[in-house]
Structure 1
Amino acid sequence: MTDPNCGVAHGAPAPEVSGRVLVAVFASPVAEVLLRWAPELGFRTVLLDPDPARGADATGFGGLDLADADVVVTDHHRPELGEVLRDALARQARWVGVMGNPRHEGPHVAALAALGVPPEEVARVHRPIGLDVGSRTPAEIALSTLAGLLADRNGCSGGFAHRPR
């Protein structure tokens, strides 16, 4: 039997992928790359930014069904961080993550606690996100994030743990 992935690599039609939604929260250079590349991986994309001056959907999550959505917060310094995360958690988003340095506690923890979000809900927020590839640029961060979401969608751990050293 032939490996279907090998066939795709050689030009066979790719199988249908899930209709998962990637919600990039806050207009940023990383969000720009996420929104450009995610459709190639089968994600429908939405940019959400509470600041209407940034040219994004300022209405919040509105009628968006988050049950099959990956919510990626691309700026952990914004004052709306807690409210956006609280709303995503309350709407039962499938996956919620905040970009940031893993060496420091994320500001989302205090922001959500101040809003009365229970600790078990705060624990649903992934941080850091993406695969550890030493990302430094917006494109590298977006690539790492999308690779992590793709691994999650495909039920894989991501990384190279499967390779012998």
Structure 2
Amino acid sequence: MSDGMGPRRLVVVFESPVAEAMLRLAVEVGFQAVLVEPDETRLQGTPRPHGDLFVHDLDAAHLDDSTDVVLSDHHRAEIGEVLKEALAKNTRWIGILGKPTIEGPHVQMLRDLDVPEDQIARVHRPIGLNIGAKTPAEIAIATLAGLIADRNDRPGGTTF
């Protein structure tokens, strides 16, 4: 499936229950789904199937202008470095999960890495549609619905 720019790709960074649900559902709505888990020690045993591809770094995920990147954990120490690398690529969209009522820790992490404010502003947070999602599957559905709305230039009800 293509939107004119190439295959639709969703790169979810960090193994988590939300990532698992998001990647499983992403395939059903036409995304090539990629899981990036930079910390190999976080995977216990053989990882379960997650979409189309599993890699340990963003370079192997082949980010381009038809790629949406979602960080599925807002407490990881690697957030700043991962976002800085994603921002340096020509990605279509970048976002990170988190509560809309507080500034995400990614902002200070990126400032500490001397990332310019206009680049920090490219990182969307909150992400997804405001449906009151609580469970990992609900968060995945809300996030994917928001990405689809954004890709289709629709408002999608993202006001929080």
Same fold (TM over 0.5): yes
Structure 1 counterpart of 2:98, from 100, 119, 128:
100
* One-letter amino acid matched to 2:17: P
> Who is 2:129 aligned against?
131
How many angstroms apart in 2 are the aligned matches of 1:27 and 1:157? 29
Taking every aligned residue pair, what percent have the same amino acid on both sides? 52
- Relative distance call for 1:119 and 1:17 in structure 2 (3 A) is same
* One-letter amino acid matched to 2:35: L
How many angstroms apart in 1 are the aligned matches of 2:147 and 2:126? 12
* One-letter amino acid matched to 1:33: A
For residue 105 of structure 1, report the CA deviation from its aligned partner.
0.3
> Who is 1:80 aligned against?
78
How many angstroms apart in 1 are the aligned matches of 2:2 and 2:29? 8
Task: Please give the root-mean-square deviation of Cα atoms over the aligned residues, in Å.
Answer: 1.7
- Relative distance call for 1:44 and 1:160 in structure 2 (3 A) is closer
> Who is 1:11 aligned against?
none
How many angstroms apart in 2 are the aligned matches of 1:64 and 1:99? 22
> Who is 2:142 aligned against?
144
* One-letter amino acid matched to 2:112: A
For residue 62 of structure 1, report the CA deviation from its aligned partner.
3.0
How many angstroms apart in 2 are the aligned matches of 1:30 and 1:43? 16
Q: Which runs of 5+ in 1 are unaligned?
A: 1-15
Runs of 4+ residues over 6 Å off in structure 1 = none
Q: Counterparts of 1:34-113 in structure 2 under 5 Å?
A: 34-53=22-41, 54=43, 55=47, 56-62=54-60, 64-113=62-111
Residues 31-72 of structure 1 deviation map (CA, whole Å, 9 limit, x = unaligned): 000110001111001000111132552133336032110000
**Bigger radius of gyration, 1 or 2?**
1
Aligned residues between the structures: 146
Structure 1 counterpart of 2:11, from 2, 17, 23:
23
TM-score after normalising by structure 1: 0.83
Greater RCO (CA < 8 Å, at least 6 residues apart): 2
* Aligned-partner SS, 1:27: coil
Q: Which runs of 5+ in 2 are unaligned?
A: 48-53
* One-letter amino acid matched to 2:20: E
TM-score after normalising by structure 2: 0.86
